Amino acid sequence: MKLRTYLGIAVAWGVGVFAAAGGASASDPAPKAKVSLLSSVEAVAPGKAFDLGIYFQLEPGWNIYWQNPGDSGLAPRVTWTLPDGFSVGELRYPIPKRHHSPGDIVTNILSGDPMLIAQVTPPADLKGDSLRLRANL
């Protein structure tokens, strides 16, 4: 049996997003990132692992931090809300770029359209015809 999947995401804008030198001012209230939750499958099968991707579309000059941010910053943190019996693995990050700031501050950043990926495993006895998966970022 396969279940149709409904995915939702809640995003706290600006958390873990910073402006590189010459970026927008702090008084600019416009969101600097669009974030989507994507699935590697169209339907969830009992006991079969699949990937969920947190896809960032960042404005030019804006970045998020890598899992090891370096001298400054915080990596994105995700709180998953999954149905009973589901498990989720650690986030996997793409390869970062090193960013050098005045004062010998070195950070590891992701810019452009990075995606953080986590493997999700549903229970082997999964029942029903729909489910909801959420990621609070």
In sequence order, what are the residues at sequence separation of 6 or more whose Cβ sits closer than 8 angstroms to the Cβ of residue 25?
none
pLDDT of res. 129: 82
Instruction: Name the stretches of the chain with pLDDT < 50.
Output: 1-24
pLDDT of res. 30: 78
3-state secondary structure of 104: coil
Task: State the Cα–Cα distance between residues 132 and 23, nearest whole angstrom.
Answer: 37
CA angle 47, 79, 12 (to 5 degrees): 135
Task: State the Cα–Cα distance between residues 91 and 119, nearest whole angstrom.
Answer: 8
17 - beta bridge partners? 64
